[in-house]
Structure 1
Amino acid sequence: MAQRTLKGRVAIVGIGETHYYKHGQSPDAEFKLALQAVLRACADAGLDPRHIDGFASYADDRSEATRLASALGLPRLRSATMQWGGGGGGCCAAVANGAAAIATGQADCVVVFRSLAQGQHGRFGQASGAGAAAATISGERSYLAPYGVISPPQRFAMRVQRYMHDHGVRQEALRAIALASYHHAQNNPRAVMHGKPLDAAKYDASRWIVEPFHLFDCCMENDGAAALILMDAQRAADCAQKPVYLLGAAAGSGPRFGSFAHNSIEYASGNFGTVAPDLYRMAGVEPKDVGVVQAYDSFTGGVLIALAEHGFFPPEAANDFLVLDNLVAKGGRLPLNTSGGNLAECYVHGFELVLEAVRQVRGTSSNQAARNDVALVVGGPMVSPVSDLLLGSGDVL
């Protein structure tokens, strides 16, 4: 029986993105943003859009595959997949789903994308209270909203606070993650926070959102779209750009992670305990082989936990490892979020992180890491399901 793996079988051949806007400021509708990103990815790959025969997305993206196919004039649509789960937990899984369609012959050219126009459809990060709508609240929120836990920072802060307490992690570790993102954004003209540097004093003086999160520990809210194109690895060499290969992919959840009322077995967790080992096993690499990381940073605390759960340091060593000098592209031990990430480049539910990993492997990032042949993307710490990708050059296959 052939080995069941995506390693080396599928390649990313094109990437594209729109201008990134502060939430509510896009002049274009969400669907138009999606089309712009897709067409720019095709141009990057040197590919006629009519070669596309599949789409994959996540987080209930509203730009439906059938409508995209019609707008692009595709001869046929063969694959259309949507990853379950909200937010950015599916940003890597969507790529894996598209790659699986290609590896199994269900499609030849798949676009993976995320589009977001919050001015058109409403803000994701805005708290919704329990007031008049209390009778309609169900599921996990019915255990939280009556006690005032109504926003994402509140829900995730409790997990991070517990983790920091259990392992003696100081606030400075979170600060270093935020400073690294803003540092990289200053060299990235696409970044919304380009030209708006952050230093330790400004971070420390910023208001609390909910402990342990200061203002700069929390991601932005943005409008925009990003897309990439997947093809069979053997066909990828015919495209305009250097192919970037999938080395490994994994998604899922640990036991009872989605238990209601914050009652999971591993409460202070990013939910990568079972996912990270699957990822490394498929790719045939270890943490020491990873040269650069793009970690979903809706909140800095999720990055902290995810990096430990991916084996880059034991939790008790977080304070020593998570310092700014270790996290920057030039000279750092583990360059982190080299485009600025969700905190400082853009928040399109993490898909911009996948594009930055592609740029790193290509060698075209505005903050190029010294070791770029293996790039890790971490999707959605502290949600369920989460997902991971390892991307690499042809030299590591």
Structure 2
Amino acid sequence: MTGPAAAIVGIGATGFSKGSGRSELRLAVEAVHAALADAGLGPEDVDGMVTFTMDTSPEITVAQAAGIGELTFFSRVHYGGGAACATVQQAALAVATGAARVVVCYRAFNERSGRRFGAGVQRREPSAEGTALGWTLPFGLLTPASWAAMAAQRYLHTYGLTPEVFGRVAVTARRYAATNPAAYFHGRPLTLAEHAASRWIAEPLRLLDCCQETDGGQALVVTSLERARDLPRPPVLVAAAAQGAGRAQEQMTGFYRGDLAGLPESRVVARGLWRASGLGPGDIDVGILYDHFTPYVLMQLEGYGFCGPGEAADFAAEARLPLNTHGGQLGEAYLHGMNGIAEAVRQLRGTAVNQVPGAERALVTAGAGVPTSGLVLTGDG
């Protein structure tokens, strides 16, 4: 979609923990109420809700529990973390077409104390979406880390790199997390030596190459740009939003598509974002790149055109673009990328803990290795 016809006007989250002690529904409602309060709106203003699949708190249930009345739009997006930015796209499309006036996007789960996605799919119910896993499960590739490790190994081989390049991504994320009071790893930076000493999960991925498992919730409020300008917070414009799936796309198991060292789905989203926004990689002030696994941060830098194939390790090491200034999912929390969108909003409002001076344009990406999505967000300058 092209924009800006819509803006993010509110962000809200619960605390991030390893044991919330609350139901996922309660976490969702807390995050929704916090986001509405931040926007200067109330439950009575909301007429649209968007979330993910793999969610135990349906839109209608959350609306009822949050005191929201009639809904004219409700939707959910598939493919796990790849859905994060697409929730905002759905909300922006609803606002732009008049299907809804105020839309809340949310994600809440007990992903540490409850269902742990990192444990894999051994007990997954049969489904069309899971069919592709049948090519890998019999050979022991049972978890997301094992699937990502295949692509990571190929990336290192193709460009003659060592796993240390992944460690640099983890160290950067933890450096930002260490100064972010909301982050689980607040006050706990990381060294390359500590990364290298962490245990193997699936070579070449170590424990500290893998994102956290988090209990918590995050919500965002989207409305029209016209209405946004009358609300208390500076609006953050949805300059462009896009989804993308590559040819022969699968869910992190597309080992037969040819190029394992790149992310075709990210390139699809990149083309859509740059075309719709009229911007390019050189115009971006801060990047919030989905960091479920460290290799995918490097591969996304290349897929979105910030550098050439195999050049992302040097690009990231030289800090040519501020990345994941909240600490990312490696350092702050794993909320399927929704907390990353909130960080981009803070950067463009000028209220981030690790504020990038003069930040006016942000790229936010969703989960890579699966059908994915992205956003270009800008200030209202």
Aligned position for 2:359: 372
Structure 1: gaps spanning 5 or more residues: 327-332
Residue 254 of structure 2 corresponds to residue 268 of structure 1 = no
Matches within 5 A, 1:231-380: 231-258=223-250, 262-270=255-263, 271-323=265-317, 325-326=318-319, 333-380=320-367
Match of 2:67 among 47, 56, 73: 73
Match of 1:9 among 5, 15, 26: 5
Classify 1:118/1:392 alpha carbon distance in 2 versus 1 (closer, same or farther; 3 Å).
Answer: same
The answer as to whether partners of 1:192 and 1:345 remain within 8 angstroms in 2 is yes
How many Å separate the matches in 1 of 2:349 and 2:119? 37
Aligned position for 2:378: 392
Cα RMSD, aligned residues only = 2.0
Match of 2:21 among 2, 22, 27: 27
Classify 1:72/1:30 alpha carbon distance in 2 versus 1 (closer, same or farther; 3 Å).
Answer: same
How many Å separate the matches in 1 of 2:182 and 2:267? 34
TM-superposed deviation, 1:214: 1.5
Matches within 5 A, 1:157-236: 157-236=149-228
How many Å separate the matches in 2 of 1:184 and 1:353? 13
- Percent identical among aligned pairs is 39
Measured against aligned partners, the alpha-carbon deviations of 1:110-168 in whole angstroms (never above 9, x if no partner) come to: 000101113664211113448xx999996122221111110111111111211221122
Aligned position for 1:330: none
How many Å separate the matches in 2 of 1:153 and 1:228? 29
TM-superposed deviation, 1:267: 2.9
The answer as to whether partners of 1:359 and 1:365 remain within 8 angstroms in 2 is yes
Residue 89 of structure 2 corresponds to residue 93 of structure 1 = no
How many Å separate the matches in 2 of 1:277 and 1:128? 32
SS of residue matched to 2:76:
strand
Measured against aligned partners, the alpha-carbon deviations of 1:200-241 in whole angstroms (never above 9, x if no partner) come to: 111111112112211111000011000010010001011110
Comparing 291-300 and 135-144, the one that deviates more = 135-144
Classify 1:119/1:209 alpha carbon distance in 2 versus 1 (closer, same or farther; 3 Å).
Answer: closer
How many Å separate the matches in 2 of 1:319 and 1:114? 31
* Count of aligned pairs: 378
The answer as to whether partners of 2:166 and 2:294 remain within 8 angstroms in 1 is yes
Aligned position for 1:104: 97
How many Å separate the matches in 2 of 1:135 and 1:316? 37
SS of residue matched to 1:322:
helix
The answer as to whether partners of 1:256 and 1:265 remain within 8 angstroms in 2 is no
How many Å separate the matches in 2 of 1:112 and 1:261? 29
Q: Which amino acid aligns with 1:206?
A: S
How many Å separate the matches in 1 of 2:338 and 2:153? 27
Match of 2:106 among 113, 117, 121: 113
Q: Which amino acid aligns with 1:174?
A: F
The answer as to whether partners of 2:39 and 2:233 remain within 8 angstroms in 1 is yes
State TM-score, norm by structure 2. 0.94
Q: Which amino acid aligns with 1:309?
A: G
Measured against aligned partners, the alpha-carbon deviations of 1:330-367 in whole angstroms (never above 9, x if no partner) come to: xxx20111001110100011110000000000011110
Moved beyond 3 Å, runs of 4+: 118-121, 127-130, 133-138
Matches within 5 A, 1:25-64: 25-64=19-58
Aligned position for 1:329: none
Q: Which amino acid aligns with 2:376?
A: L
Classify 1:75/1:316 alpha carbon distance in 2 versus 1 (closer, same or farther; 3 Å).
Answer: closer
State TM-score, norm by structure 1. 0.91
Aligned position for 1:381: 368
Measured against aligned partners, the alpha-carbon deviations of 1:31-57 in whole angstroms (never above 9, x if no partner) come to: 000000000011111112210000011
Structure 2: gaps spanning 5 or more residues: none
How many Å separate the matches in 2 of 1:388 and 1:287? 13
How many Å separate the matches in 2 of 1:286 and 1:136? 39
Measured against aligned partners, the alpha-carbon deviations of 1:81-138 in whole angstroms (never above 9, x if no partner) come to: 11121x21010011101110010000000000101113664211113448xx999996
